[in-house]
Structures are given as structure tokens and as C-alpha cells.
Amino acid sequence: MNLRRDDFAALDANDPLAPFLARFHRPKDLLYFDGNSLGMLPEAARRRAIETVEREWGQGLIESWTAARWIDLPEKVGGKIAKLIGAGADEVIATDSTSINIFKLLAGGLKLRPGRRVILTEAGNFPTDIYMAEGLAHLTGDVEVRLADDVVPAITEDVAVVMLTHVDYRSAALHDMAAVTSAAHAQGALVLWDLSHSAGALPVDLGEADFAVGCGYKFLNGGPGAPAYLYVARRWQKAFSQPLSGWLGHAAPFAFELHYRPAAGIKRAISGTPSVIAMSLLDASLDLLIEAGMHRIRDKAQKQMDLFAELVDARCTEAGLKLITPRDHAERGSHLSFSHPQGYELTQALRERKVVPDFRAPDVIRFGFTPLTLSYVDVWDAVGRLAEIWHDGLWRDPRYSVKAAVT
Amino acid sequence: MNLRRDDFAALDANDPLAPFLARFHRPKDLLYFDGNSLGMLPEAARRRAIETVEREWGQGLIESWTAARWIDLPEKVGGKIAKLIGAGADEVIATDSTSINIFKLLAGGLKLRPGRRVILTEAGNFPTDIYMAEGLAHLTGDVEVRLADDVVPAITEDVAVVMLTHVDYRSAALHDMAAVTSAAHAQGALVLWDLSHSAGALPVDLGEADFAVGCGYKFLNGGPGAPAYLYVARRWQKAFSQPLSGWLGHAAPFAFELHYRPAAGIKRAISGTPSVIAMSLLDASLDLLIEAGMHRIRDKAQKQMDLFAELVDARCTEAGLKLITPRDHAERGSHLSFSHPQGYELTQALRERKVVPDFRAPDVIRFGFTPLTLSYVDVWDAVGRLAEIWHDGLWRDPRYSVKAAVT
């Protein structure tokens, strides 16, 4: 490998997505590889924040529920997310957090599979997915949360819902969505996919999947703690019910009826009043992903990940970073994870040198690839700084070994 | 009653809370009596929105979870709300929506009262409170949601949780919190208070209450869909569990442990990632209420409500508006509700004349009193416009009879 910085600059010059870089607030000199944890701020979201706060809230006040169509935001934002995940606009709604939405769909799934009381997932799933299932099991008293290392062979006839995260948050390994969905259906089980690390990162095709959830603040660039979303396949929407049955999921929320009566379609998955300001920002941010197109985003991310991995091989040989993400394009999401005994210290040293990956205990450094906010030169420079840190022994600075919360 | 507009101007001139008016964005000429539905925008919240979006998110990115202390927001905001409701800072946390929080506390309450499977509430409670209880009952299969017209005599020994809204959203009638709490405890039941129409409106003293929830976007001025909060009395916090057990309620959220283990104290009531931007705005808004002081706010609101009701008596006699809110200070919250057969049309006509009350089906016009954003002259002018609309028959305009969603 004889690449030089100029070669990366040339890639940028020919990159059809390069104009998107200027539409985000990219702090000067910062090489940000953590868009998989918190996406960067689009200028459109910044403008929308001001518009929503100053004009819609400040001037429009209560009338904005109708005049600014706040009341339609969950469906409107859901419809945009639907475009990214191969769903119909009427199958997705933006609401609450990923955790809360998992609870709704697990409970709803169990109701659709009477007689079956097992939720099957993998031990390596993102913790909150497992914790929410445990909460449901604790509440109902008769639900089992079964953990498997390899899920497909573990799908037995007592399984009501198979819950998996499409892209592993640690290794970026990608599940074969169609194959798992099909295996679950063969046993009469439903499937719930967590798309938190795949929607906005790669083209998702939910196919025959029953349910999905995902997060708004990672690849969707919706801002810290942005609202999440959920998907219920059209064929289930009539029979689907969920226990967090708040007033805005009611068929006639402003009729103030005595008893709950679910709204038609996906709206019954809403609980309380939507977080209007947060949802408006997500609404604005999604337009950029849709405009760029998920296939172009995916192509650039794969190329950037290939180059990053090659550069690490070539320039950080002695560092002994072990790539735990598959090199095969078809088998990975949009981050590269390296394990290293001093992973924590390296992450801290990188951050001080203005390269931002993140760290996942016990020893994983994750570099997220978000092509709308990362140039090819960023890739070159990041590996350059990593190589320097290693060669100069900077990571040995005792400051970096202080364990603090790395979010 | 021989009051004139000058008398109201004199009241403003002597009002110690008058300087707060300029710290909110009050649209020119608008007489806004709907702060009980959506509070007005404080300038401090507008500035905080820009700060949080541009600097914390845009520039600080992922580091802001620690550097800007995003991770502490639920406790920080909870601590501020605690000051308004007579609670300890460690007893309140800001999180999710009122609906979601009701579910957590009802489920948690049932676990604390094994053998009891009844949730008792009143038929006039705000719908989402009842709907969430129904969702829990539907999920568990063995919980009964019992509705009573008069709750206290209906508290029997099979009741696990008595759930009431402190201030009735329709009539503004105020429950005697201490008396109901005591009656519930006498039967071994727990009490859950919904403070959505009382926190920020009047000094609340939770006393011996077990649980409470409330909304951030009404009297707390947190912005549309602002995060809600919940209270768990200190004595219950060790035993309390809740089923929406997401990762940020875990004892060690970033250790990514396999199984859920609740955080110590009130933090276990958190589920997913907090809505940082929305919560920051609420954080900024709360400072104004704390600075003004709930007793001063309450005194002014009572005076404004007295004057408003007297002016309606004197100047809108023929209109036949029927005050359904108690005149007794000790028996009402901070809005005045009038029933009128043409309540809907009158509300629409008022809004066109830039007086904003809201309407609750079938025939109730609500005027909310939020002393930090309402002057005494506003009170005079609002009743003046109401009298004009009635006398001139403006409300008969057929446009106003089109039933649209009035939120």
C-alpha cells in the first residue's frame, strides 16, 4: 500500500457526497468518528431549532399544534425514516425512546402469540434491549427471556418473539435479516429488529420482518436523546396492541373518552405527547440522508472503512490493534472495532489529539463511518494521528488511564 | 364593582412579579390564557436552546455527555422540580412523558402491594391516566381499574394504588391531598398524584404521598412536549422497581452488564437516553419559577382569578357563562372554567380576537392563570374582548362553529 494524503484528497475531489460535509457543523480540526454514537449537527437542524423555538413555540404557542402541524410530527418523521428502512410510510412512527418502544413491541408481540411465553435474544445484544425484556418478564411473571449465543438454532416452538440488533454495537457484525426472519417465521415466532446501528448507516430492507425499533441520535443525526421510532408491519397493525396506551394513541385523543380505544394503524403505538422540539430537529436532519441516498452513503462508508483498515495495517503494525469487525462488506455495519489491551488509554489519547472514536468496555475502540460528515482526508489523518500516538508512546501518559465514564 | 382599566394598571405597577413579564416572549397584543396547556417561551429557554444545539451538540459533540453534564440532566431537573412540590432533590427525576411515568409508578406500586390488584381512580381523571392503567391491566390480565365518582369512600382493602390528578383538568377543583393520602394509607393503599395542573401553579406539599408524576410543558414552561417527571418517596426507593427498566436506570449503565440491576435511588426510574435538548430547555425555564417563588405566584394567580370572575359577572352578565371552578381559594387550582352551550364558538371567536383560552369538550372554556406571563391589564382586556364578542354577536359567525381539533 503506497497511498499518500494526496490520494485521499483526490478521492474527496471526486466524491459526489463531498458537498454534504459543508451542511454539517464540523468543528475545526476535529476528526469525528463517533457519528454512530451521536451524529453531528446539520445546519438545517440548527435553523429548525431556532424556527421551532422562536417562531412556533414563542409566537405561535398553542395554535402551533395545528398551524405548525406539531400533532402530525410522529407520522411525518416516521414516514421519512420509513424511506431509509424499506418500509411503508404508514408502518413507522417516531415516538419515545428505543427502550420504551422495545417494551411496546415485545408486549404486543406476546399478545399476538398466545401460548408462547419466550423472548429469545442473544447475550451480545445491546444491554437495554435485554433489560427491557427482563422488565416485561418481571412484570408479567410468566415470560422467559432466553439468551443464546447463536440465535437461529435456538428458535424453538415456544418462542414468541426473536429480538435482535441488526448490526452488533460492539463488533459491527451484521445479521442476515432475511434469513433470521425466515427461520423465526418457520417456527411460528415473530421478529423484532433493533436498527439503531443500521438505519441511516446502510440500506435496510425489513422484508417480512414483523417489528423494528431504532434510535434517532446516532446515524440519523437527530441530536442528543432524539426521539426513537418503531415499525409494525402493515399486516399486524389491526391486531396489534401495546400496553403503554396513552392518550395520543387513542382513536380520538381530544374527545376525552372514558376508555382507551386504539387509533387505527401505527398511531396506536404512540403514548404521550410527542417531544415536539426534539422531533422537529430529527425531521430536519432526515432530509439530508434521504437526499444523499442510502446506497451512495453505504458505498462511501465501505470504501472509507476499507481504506481505514488498510492504513491501520500498514501504518500501525506494531500497535497490535486487532480488527474484530468483519472485512467482508456484506457482513458488517458502518463502524470498525479494534480490540486492544490499552484500548481505553488509546481512546483517551486519540481524543486529546482531536480524533474521536469511542470505547466499549473492556477493550474495544470503535470508529464510526458517517460519510456525510467524514472526508477521505479525515480517514488518512485519523490513522496518521493514531500511528503517532502509538509510536510516540503518548498513550502511556498516566492521565489516560484514569477510568472515567466514556459515553 | 366599579373597577376601571387604570385600576388594573395600578395593580401591575405595584406587582412584585411584574418584572418577570419581560423575561418571556409575549407576542404583541396577544392575551394568552393557555399557559396551563402550553407555557410561554422564557428568554432563558430560547438562549439555552441555542447554547445546547450550537455549542454543546454542534461543537462539544459526544464529549458533552460529561463536559456539559448531559448525563446529569434528569437528576438536575428533577431536583429543581422537587423545590416546587415539597419534595427532596433525591425524590424526583425528569424523564419520559407523564403517560409513561404513570405506567412505571402503577406497576411499581402493584409490586409493593402483593395480593392487591385494584387501581382506583375517578372517572373524571385526565384520560391518559386512565388509559395507561387500562394498558397495564390489559397486559397483566389480573389488574382491575376501578372508577369512582367519589374516591375516598371507595378506597377498600383490595386497592393497591389510588391514582388522582391533584387539580381537575376540567373544573380546576383541587383535591385535599393530605386527606386523600391519609384515607388511602388507612386502608393500606398507596397514592399516586398527577401534578400536571398543580406543580408550577401553586405550592404543592406532597406530605406523606407515595408517588407523583407531572408534565413539563404546562405551568413549568418547558416547551411543547417537554419531558415529564416522577416522584418516589424516599422511604420506597429501596423496594421500588419498575418494568420499563432501560439501560440508563441501570446501576452501571456503561459497564454493559448482561442483566438489569437497578440504580440506587430515584435513578432506577429512568429508562432510555434522556431527551437532552428538550430537558435543557425545561432546566432553564424552571429557574424562573424558583426565583419568583410559588407563594407569590399563587397569591397573584388567586387575585387575577378573583378579578377575572368578578369582571365576567359584571360585564358579561347576559352571556350566561357558568363558572364551574370553585370560587373558594382553597378549593381550586390555577384556571377558571366556564361552561356555555356555545363554548366552542366563543373560544374560536376569542382566539380570533387574540384572546387565547382553550376548550374542553363538550362545553368548557378554560382560562389558565400564569402570573409570570399575565398582567392585571391582560385580565381586564381579556374580559373586555369577551364582553364585546358576546354583545356584538361575533361568536355567531358560522366559521366558528366548524369543529376542528382544539388542542
| Distant-in-sequence, close-in-space partners of A321: CB < 8 Å, separation ≥ 6 | A312, A338, A339, A340, A365
What is the β-pairing status of strands A118-122 and B159-165? unpaired
Q: Show the cell assigned to B144.
A: 382491575
pLDDT the model gives residue B402: 62
C-alpha A167/C-alpha A174 separation (Å) is 5
Is residue B287 a contact partner of residue B76, using CB atoms and an 8 Å limit?
no
Give this prediction's pTM: 0.97
Contacts of A65 in chain B (CB under 8 A): 224, 405, 407
**Least CB-CB distance to B407: which of A66, A228, A241?**
A66
3-state SS class at A75: helix
Q: Which of B97, B230, B403 to mutate to test the interface with A (most CBs of A within 10 A)?
A: B97
Is residue B202 a contact partner of residue B301, using CB atoms and an 8 Å limit?
yes
Segment holding A229, helix H or strand E: strand A229-232
**Least CB-CB distance to A40: which of B61, B96, B404?**
B61
For residue A69, the one-letter residue type is R
| Distant-in-sequence, close-in-space partners of B394: CB < 8 Å, separation ≥ 6 | B349, B353, B388
- Is B58 close to A97, i.e. CB distance below 8 A? no
C-alpha B309/C-alpha B55 separation (Å) is 47
For residue A316, the one-letter residue type is C
pLDDT the model gives residue B15: 98
- Is A25 close to B58, i.e. CB distance below 8 A? yes
Q: Which of B15, B194, B210, B283 is catalytic?
A: B194
Residue B254 bears catalytic tag: no
Cβ burial, residue B67 (10 Å; 0-12/13-18/19+):
exposed
C-alpha B167/C-alpha B177 separation (Å) is 10
* pLDDT lower than 70: segments of chain B: 1, 402-407
Between helices B43-50 and A43-50, what is the axis angle to 10°?
180
Q: Show the cell assigned to B326.
A: 370553585
CA dihedral (A125, A126, A129, A132) in degrees, to 10, reads 120
Comparing alpha-carbon positions, the chain A residue that sits nearest to B129 is: A246
Strand partners, B366: B337, B358
Tell me the count of A-B CB pairs closer than 8 A: 287
Comparing alpha-carbon positions, the chain B residue that sits nearest to A356 is: B62
Phi, psi values for residue A159, rounded to 5°? -80, 125
Kindly provide the ipTM of the predicted complex, given to two decimals.
Answer: 0.97
pLDDT the model gives residue B103: 98
Q: Which of A15, A96, A129, A194 is catalytic?
A: A194
Q: Show the cell assigned to B141.
A: 390480565
Is residue B204 a contact partner of residue B195, using CB atoms and an 8 Å limit?
yes
Counted residue by residue, chain A has a size of 407
Distance (Å) of CA A20 to CA A23, A201, A218, A285, A288: 5, 15, 17, 12, 8
**Residue pLDDT, tens place only, B208-265:** 999 999 999 999 999 999 999 999 999 999 999 999 999 999 999 999 999 999 999 9
Residue B366 bears catalytic tag: yes
CA dihedral (B84, B222, B371, B102) in degrees, to 10, reads -50
* CA-based nearest residue to A90, from A102, A100, A80, A99: A80
| Mean per-residue pLDDT over chain B, rounded | 96
Mean pLDDT, consecutive 10-residue stretches, chain A (407 aa), reads 91 98 97 98 98 98 97 98 98 98 98 98 96 98 97 98 97 98 98 98 98 98 98 98 98 94 98 98 98 98 98 93 98 98 95 96 95 98 96 87 54
- Is A351 close to B63, i.e. CB distance below 8 A? yes
C-alpha B244/C-alpha B249 separation (Å) is 9
C-alpha A277/C-alpha B187 separation (Å) is 43
